[in-house]
Amino acid sequence: MSRYATTRLSSRGQVVIPEDIRNHLGLKEGDHFVVIGEGDAIVLKAIPPPKPEEFEALVARADHALAARRPWLKKMA
């Protein structure tokens, strides 16, 4: 697999990531990216979704922060 390929910008501002690169990186429809523009370069960095245990920890922290600010609200089950 080549580490680079060419593509073009559509009239709607869309860019296609070539199939061999998508396959090599394991990218799927709906994946999210950070887009960085620096000078004449554009970098796409895939943002992986949080693991279930990481997500549960984020929800627990949010519940704790909410309870500290609004003690009269009960945690939703």
What is the spatial distance between Cα 17 and Cα 36, in angstroms, rounded to a whole number?
16
The pLDDT of residue 74 = 63
Single pTM value for the model: 0.59
What is the spatial distance between Cα 20 and Cα 59, in angstroms, rounded to a whole number?
37
Look at 2-6, 33-37, 72-76 and tell me which has the smallest mean pLDDT: 72-76
Convert the pLDDT of each residue in 21-61 to its tens digit.
999 999 999 999 999 999 999 999 999 887 888 888 888 88
What is the spatial distance between Cα 30 and Cα 72, in angstroms, rounded to a whole number?
38
Residue 35 near residue 42, CB atoms below 8 Å: yes
